[in-house]
Chain A
Amino acid sequence: MKLRSAPIVLVLAAAIGAATGIAVPAAQACGWNLGCQTYSPGSGSTGTDLCCSVNEAVNSTFNTYDTVQAIKTRAGGSWFGSTLLYYDWTWYTTVDNANSDKVGCYNHHTGSMFVNCRHFNY
């Protein structure tokens, strides 16, 4: 393919993707505030409360498995609660310490999986 035709092909692919609902892989950083990354078995990511409230929610999409664990940890990373989270199903929970406790996602399976995870106040 000639280099000068590449942008046209990309625009075309994006247009077809938008029209058919098929996602076109994007290299840009995703909008999930706990990252979009591969979790190896026994790994995860958490984030501290965003602002002002003990009401925290966790939401995730992922591949490979049906579920991921939504977890709560203390500032130092020690666990104090979790639940099983299905694809794009939000867990509304609370933390004890608004400015230091964290919530996030964790891969409890035996294989790696790609996880999009985010948290928000509600």
Chain B
Amino acid sequence: MLRLKRTHQLALAIAFAVAIAVSLALKPSGASATAPADVVPFDQARLSPKLQEIAVKVASREGVATATLVAVAPTVSEAEYAGVFVGSDASGADVVAPYNADGLMAFASVDRVIAYGGVMVFPSAAGEAGEVRRVSLVGLAEPRVSAVTIELADGSHLRAELVRAGRRGFRFFAYATDSSSRFPISYRASAADGTEIKSEDVSHALMPPVGSVG
């Protein structure tokens, strides 16, 4: 009876170990964590007072009503560092304005992404005296993009959460950090069947100029 119980326990332990091994083998390579993002109305977005002020000013200047705007931003504590504003222009067409803690891009048609291979990213960095202290990587992608994986400085990978906003089904993501080991190095965007749509090194775009620029 005792032997039978031990055999049963051993079988259970082996089955458990096999289940763990199989689940690890089936997991996408390295992309074990997620960069979560969410979409919120403009007036509920966590923005610094300075960014909110200039966003309102730029939207007014470019004929985009803030009532149409939403912000796609990280859901974690770095939310006010970066994101993408998505809204409509006077003709009702989808427009986007990627932003970071220091400012925003002009509002432009979401169709701009088509000329750049289906994905556009906006890496930004801020610091002082040539030292990078905070970076962000936000992006927009055509509806055919179903996954974006970000490689980080420490060698790990993040799966960016793709959030739909606007009327056209385009997808957006936002990641920001002030931890240098978590700075993004590159990204890879792929379709639902795993086919690569675009990949790009972003590390050079985040580096400050070498020396001083006159």
Q: Which residues of A line the B interface, CB within 8 A?
A: 42-46, 55, 66-67, 69, 71-74, 76-84, 86, 89-94, 104, 106, 108-109, 122
Which B residues lie within 8 Å of A91 (CB)? 103-106
Mask, B111-150, CB within 8 Å of A = 1, is 0100010001111111111100000000000000000000
A108 to B112, CA, bound (A): 22
**3 closest pairs, A vs B, by CB?**
A77-B212, A93-B103, A79-B208
Known A-B contacts A92-B104, A93-B102; the reply to A78 vs B129 at CB < 8 A is: yes
Tell me the complex Cα distance, A71–B206, Å. 11
SS class, residues of chain B in contact with chain A: mixed
| Contact B58–A122 (Cβ < 8 Å) | yes
**B interface list, Cβ under 8 A from A:** 50, 54, 57-58, 61, 100, 102-106, 108, 112, 116, 120-130, 202, 204-214
Please pick, from A67, A76, A82, A92, the residue contacting B124 in the complex, using a CB distance under 8 A.
Answer: A82
13 additional A-B pairs beyond A74-B129, A106-B209, beta carbons within 8 Å, are A73-B209, A77-B214, A79-B127, A79-B130, A80-B126, A82-B124, A82-B126, A82-B206, A82-B208, A83-B122, A83-B124, A92-B54, A104-B213
Contact between A108 and B207 (Cβ–Cβ < 8 Å)?
Answer: yes
- Which chain A residue has the least Cβ–Cβ distance from B126? A81
B105 and A71 contact, CB distance less than 8 A: no
In the complex, the answer to whether A67 meets B129 with C-beta atoms within 8 Å is: no
